[in-house]
Amino acid sequence: MPEPSTQVSYSRPVPEAGGAAQAAPEVVDAVFDIADLNFWYGANRALRDVSLRIGRQEITALIGPSGCGKTTFLRCLNRMNDLLPDTRIEGRLDFDGEPLYRPGVQAIEIRRRIGMVFQKPNPFPKSIYDNVAIAPKVNGMKVNLDDLVEESLSRAALWNEVKDKLKQSAFSLSGGQQQRLCIARTIAVKPEVILMDEPCSALDPLATIRIEELMTELKSDYTIVIVTHNMQQAARVSDRTAFFTVEDHPEGRSGVLVESGPTHKIFTAPSDQRTDDYITGRFG
Amino acid sequence: MSLKRRLTDRIFWVVCGVAFLLIAAPSISVLVSVFHQAVPALGWQLFSHRTNAKATGLQNAILGSLILLGGVLVVAGSVGVAAGIYLAEYATGRTEKLLRFFSEILAGMPSIVIGYIAYLTLVVQFHWGYSLLAAVIALSALVLPYIVKTTEVALRQVPTAIREAGAGLGMPRTATLTRMLLPTALPGIVSGLIVALAISTGELAPLLFTAGFTDTNPKLQLLHQQVPYLTNVIYTDISLPGSRAHATAAAAGLLSLLLLVILITAGRLVARRARRQTARMSL
């Protein structure tokens, strides 16, 4: 009996007609405009000359082998890397036409506009209600919290499952529900962009499908950037795909962006041989 | 089961039993002998009468010990928890190393040295005399490193994911600290505080130089007023002639042990809650 495999070897994942096929060849309205971005962890150059435009209300997937810098890149976009000691960033990274790393820009303010969902569901050790309400409360948003909680949970397709147990601990939920709670919590802060770092890697296939459906629904209001190891996922949900890889340089290994474009094109007619090798499963 | 396996099993159990006895016997024998010697002095008069030549009362010493513990909780508790938070969340580079260095020195310092230094500076130099404040500061210096360490460890055990979640939502660092990290770390911090109190309960050396003693009930006066406490009664009465003095010393010892058992049990309960909470979070 053949072993079940999560990755189809030597065949292209086929993008679904819905989103990907309609993406224009070039990004017209860019939320992020990134040029020649370099990033260092200490002496280690993790990103080398990355240039990418990320379109408004589109889903952009970042794919590539382990260590290619896609998560590092994602965490540059909301200045999460600021939390790490001994890091350095150079190059252009404009968000809505403004340099994200200009002195005087508050990282905290940025992260309210650019939310993040993490690899492992990480609800706060609090009730379901508090998980959604706490950040708006702390951040001083002038809103009716009850309404905001219901709205956010509904938007994250979780309301019907939790409306009768809002006071229960968030840990009483399943992994997939916890991840949707984390998405609800992110939405509650009313961000413009949602960054997702392999949001389904800790979830089973059914929970994964629910998150993917949710992303497609959220696209009408938010710009979404998702890091994924799962190429089928990138093909299913994203409008555009950026393929990163690792390059060996004299001073060490660095992540580089090989190519980016409409998902349909990247998966059917990539212009770089390395992309083709990766998506067909010959490499990575 | 083969004979050899049965034999090995039996030997193992015997070794375990002996080890258990070696550990348990001293504490049990101390408890039994202290209780035995305290019997003549046991009674309500321990709580209703004060220490003096005629009665076997301990009221003033019990009150004094409790006040000292309260003082340690306030002084060492606030300073220690604050330092622990600073080390776990904010300190970097040289300040971190320096703070850690001094904390370790303090942790290794013999309690009698701490008492003597407190005597030279607070009691003599500052003219505080034997006093509540001098005693509380000396005791606090003794247990401070312990509180710093447990607070720091409790905060570091909070998963990074929670810190990142707070940051990812644009919550200010202090808000993440007070609303997420501290409540999660609280059981660990509290059990550290309780153990610090348990250590304070049994201490004598730092107090000999700083607290003094009186046969009157302690006043809540910080300076120039001596403070009676239980371990002093043990130390003094044991060296006095007469069975009544010895019984009083034993009773004071028994009460200290009782307080210790209560504190340790409370600490255990809180620590168990902490473990359960951490286990749930790292699903």
Q: Is B91 on the interface with A (CB under 8 A)?
A: no
Is residue B262 located within the same domain as residue B154?
yes
Give the ipTM: 0.83
- Residues 178-197 (A) with a CB less than 8 A from some CB of B: 182, 185-186, 189
> In this predicted structure, what is the pLDDT of residue B277?
67
Task: Give the confidence band of A162 by pLDDT, cuts at 50, 70, 90.
Answer: very high
Average pLDDT, chain A: 89
Fold of A29-279: Rossmann fold (3.40.50)
- pLDDT surpassing 50 at residue A70: yes
Q: Is B186 on the interface with A (CB under 8 A)?
A: no
> In this predicted structure, what is the pLDDT of residue A23?
74
Backbone angles phi, psi at A17, to 5 degrees: -60, -35
Instruction: Determine whether the interchain pair A118/B170 forms a contact, defined as Cβ–Cβ distance below 8 Å.
Output: no
A223-227 β-sheet, strand order: A98-99, A87-95, A30-41, A44-55, A252-262, A240-249, A59-63, A223-227, A193-197, A114-117
> In this predicted structure, what is the pLDDT of residue A8?
43
> In this predicted structure, what is the pLDDT of residue B281?
62
- Closest-CA distance of chain A to residue B193, Å: 23
Rg (C-alpha) for chain A, rounded Å, is 19
Q: Write the CA distances from B96 to A133, A147, B29, B229, B236, integer angstroms.
A: 35, 45, 45, 37, 43
Give pLDDT tens digits for B104-156: 999 999 999 999 999 999 999 999 999 999 999 999 999 999 999 999 999 99
> In this predicted structure, what is the pLDDT of residue A3?
47
| Rounded average pLDDT over A37-43 | 94
Whether residue A60 contacts residue A239, with contact meaning beta carbons closer than 8 Å, is answered with yes
Contacts A118 to B, Cβ<8 Å: 161, 164-165, 168
Q: Write the CA distances from A218 to A9, B72, B263, integer angstroms.
A: 31, 55, 53
Q: Is A75 on the interface with B (CB under 8 A)?
A: no
Q: Write the CA distances from B102 to A79, A81, B95, integer angstroms.
A: 35, 32, 11
Higher pLDDT, B268 or B204: B204
Task: Give the confidence band of B242 by pLDDT, cuts at 50, 70, 90.
Answer: confident
Nearest to B150 by CA among B178, B188, B204: B188
Contacts B170 to A, Cβ<8 Å: 108-113, 135, 139, 189
> In this predicted structure, what is the pLDDT of residue B283?
44
Q: What are the helix (H) ranges across chain A?
A: 70-76, 107-113, 128-138, 145-155, 159-162, 175-188, 205-218, 231-237, 263-268, 273-279
Is residue B33 located within the same domain as residue B57?
no
Instruction: Determine whether the interchain pair B170/A112 forms a contact, defined as Cβ–Cβ distance below 8 Å.
Output: yes
Domain total for chain B? Answer: 2
- pLDDT surpassing 70 at residue B278: no
Interface test with A, best of B92, B169, B275, B280 (most A CBs within 10 A): B169
Instruction: Determine whether the interchain pair B172/A182 forms a contact, defined as Cβ–Cβ distance below 8 Å.
Output: no
> In this predicted structure, what is the pLDDT of residue A233?
92
Angle between helices B160-168 and A175-188 (to 10 degrees): 30
Q: Is A109 on the interface with B (CB under 8 A)?
A: yes
Q: In terms of CA atoms, which chain B residue is nearest residue A184?
A: B169
Give pLDDT tens digits for B173-225: 999 999 889 988 988 899 899 999 999 999 999 999 999 999 889 988 899 99
> In this predicted structure, what is the pLDDT of residue A284?
56
Give the pair of three-digit tokens for residue A91: 């190059």
> In this predicted structure, what is the pLDDT of residue A251?
83
| Rounded average pLDDT over B18-43 | 92
- pLDDT surpassing 50 at residue B255: yes
Backbone angles phi, psi at A43, to 5 degrees: -90, -5
Range of the domain at B48: 44-281
Instruction: Determine whether the interchain pair B164/A124 forms a contact, defined as Cβ–Cβ distance below 8 Å.
Output: no
Is residue B235 located within the same domain as residue B115?
yes
Give the pair of three-digit tokens for residue A259: 């190519």
Give pLDDT tens digits for B42-100: 888 889 888 876 777 899 999 999 999 999 999 999 999 999 999 999 888 888 999 99
| Terminal Cα distance for chain B, rounded | 40
Higher pLDDT, A233 or A20: A233
> In this predicted structure, what is the pLDDT of residue B219?
87
* C-alpha to C-alpha distance for A91 and A35, rounded to whole angstroms: 6
Q: What are the helix (H) ranges across chain B?
A: 3-38, 45-48, 59-85, 93-108, 111-118, 132-156, 160-168, 173-176, 182-202, 205-208, 230-238, 243-281
3-state SS of chain A: helix, strand, coil percent to 5?
35, 25, 40
- pLDDT surpassing 70 at residue A186: yes
> In this predicted structure, what is the pLDDT of residue B175?
92
Is residue B111 located within the same domain as residue B177?
yes
> In this predicted structure, what is the pLDDT of residue B49?
87
Is residue B276 located within the same domain as residue B156?
yes
Q: Is A199 on the interface with B (CB under 8 A)?
A: no
Percentage of chain A beyond pLDDT 90 is: 75
* C-alpha to C-alpha distance for B143 and B195, rounded to whole angstroms: 9
Is residue B121 located within the same domain as residue B180?
yes
Contacts B168 to A, Cβ<8 Å: 78, 80, 111, 115-118, 186
> In this predicted structure, what is the pLDDT of residue A20?
45
* C-alpha to C-alpha distance for B108 and B104, rounded to whole angstroms: 6
- pLDDT surpassing 90 at residue A13: no
Q: Is B169 on the interface with A (CB under 8 A)?
A: yes
Instruction: Determine whether the interchain pair B180/A124 forms a contact, defined as Cβ–Cβ distance below 8 Å.
Output: yes
| Rounded average pLDDT over B260-276 | 83
Contacts B187 to A, Cβ<8 Å: none
- Closest-CA distance of chain B to residue A115, Å: 6
Neighbours of B135 (CB within 10 A): 31
Which of B253-257, B265-269, B273-277 bottoms out in mean pLDDT, i.e. has the lowest? B273-277
> In this predicted structure, what is the pLDDT of residue A146?
95
Annotated domain spans of chain A: 29-279
Rg (C-alpha) for chain B, rounded Å, is 23
Residue with token string 């508790």: B77
The alpha carbon of A231 is separated from its chain's Cα centroid by a whole number of angstroms, namely 14
| Rounded average pLDDT over A156-168 | 93
Is residue B186 located within the same domain as residue B91?
yes
For position B260, which CATH number holds?
A: 1.10.3720.10
* C-alpha to C-alpha distance for B244 and B251, rounded to whole angstroms: 10
| Rounded average pLDDT over A23-39 | 90
Give pLDDT tens digits for A79-107: 999 888 889 999 999 999 999 999 889 99
Contacts A83 to B, Cβ<8 Å: 163-164, 167
Whether residue B37 contacts residue B247, with contact meaning beta carbons closer than 8 Å, is answered with yes
| Rounded average pLDDT over A57-66 | 94
Is residue B7 located within the same domain as residue B49?
no
Q: Write the CA distances from A204 to A5, A175, A199, A231, B141, integer angstroms.
A: 14, 9, 11, 16, 53
Whether residue A101 contacts residue A93, with contact meaning beta carbons closer than 8 Å, is answered with yes
- DSSP string over A214-275: HHHHHTTT-EEEEE-S-HHHHHHH-SEEEEEEEEEETTEEEEEEEEEEEHHHHHHS-SSHHH
Is residue B156 located within the same domain as residue B73?
yes
Is residue B6 located within the same domain as residue B99?
no
Interface test with B, best of A113, A124, A183, A198 (most B CBs within 10 A): A124
Residue A35 is inside which H or E element, if any? strand A30-41
> In this predicted structure, what is the pLDDT of residue A282?
76
